[in-house]
Amino acid sequence: MRFKLTLNRTTKQRMLPMDYQYYVSAWIYKVLKQADQDFAQFLHEKGYGGQGETKLYKLFCFSRLNFGKPNLWKEKKLFEISAHEIGLQISFDVPEAATNFIKGLFMSQEFYLGDKFNGIDFKVSKVEALPEPDFTETMKYRLQTPWVVSYMTENDKYPQYLSPEDDMFEQRAIKHLVEKYNNTRDGEVISQEKIRFKRISDFKRAGFVMKPGTREETRVIGNLFEFELTAPVEINRMIWSAGVSEKSSSGFGWVERY
């Protein structure tokens, strides 16, 4: 389920860090925690890891900010934004019955987006629930934010981020989708054999800095491309509502229909 938020700048600040995704994710969690602690705890802690599984699956994703064409300050890694009205889409993998609940959480929220040096004050002026597409077993998508596929061995200090040209990319990408679905649903278990993935464009490596300015600062790398996915309809509905990627709650793996 997707929602379009209209954000209005409430002060004259215009500078926003280029790696703003971490701050968007932190703000969403803050809203959930303030409005419904049980819901936030569900997203944060349960995350539905399977037996022996240490990954935490989050049930939301979000788009890039839509602020037109900003001035780019490359050396300072900043966007200078002149638009007063900015768009953001957020999606939640929750039943339709939660529509009004979620709209109520975000409507009229006031928040600061950025670090201690640069950022912008916003107020949410409008929240719209967006219609879902007609889901079919075979669908084509365009990635708007990077699809992250990673792995670590016992000897790795940091994750290894795969490109679509790596032999393991498809296998690990499908494995993640199946685990994410099976560990967040009761009922029929879907096997990896029911999913077929085909990249239908060239790819571009891209990523975001997570927890910038802290000891935990890391750069997560993914890939942007267009692809076709053949899978049970519920898998397509899940990636529409919760992202296709690892780390979807940090803004990775947002897709649009192609």
Could you list the active site residues? 29, 44
Distance CA 91, CA 240 (A): 8
Tokens representing residue 100 in the block: 């009004």
Angle at 41 between CA 6 and CA 248, to 5 degrees: 55
Distance CA 202, CA 193 (A): 25
- The count of other CB atoms within 10 Å of the CB of residue 235 is 23
Beta strands in the chain (DSSP E): 2-9, 15-17, 60-62, 71-73, 78-80, 85-92, 110-114, 119-130, 138-143, 150-151, 160-161, 196-199, 204-210, 218-224, 226-230, 255-257
What's the distance, Cα to Cα, between the start and end of the chain in Å?
Answer: 18
Burial of 36 by CB count in 10 Å (0-12 exposed, 13-18 middle, 19+ buried)? Answer: middle
CA distances from 135 to 97, 193, 194 (A): 19, 20, 16
CA distances from 19 to 23, 30, 98, 119, 228 (A): 8, 19, 30, 11, 28
Distance CA 62, CA 144 (A): 10
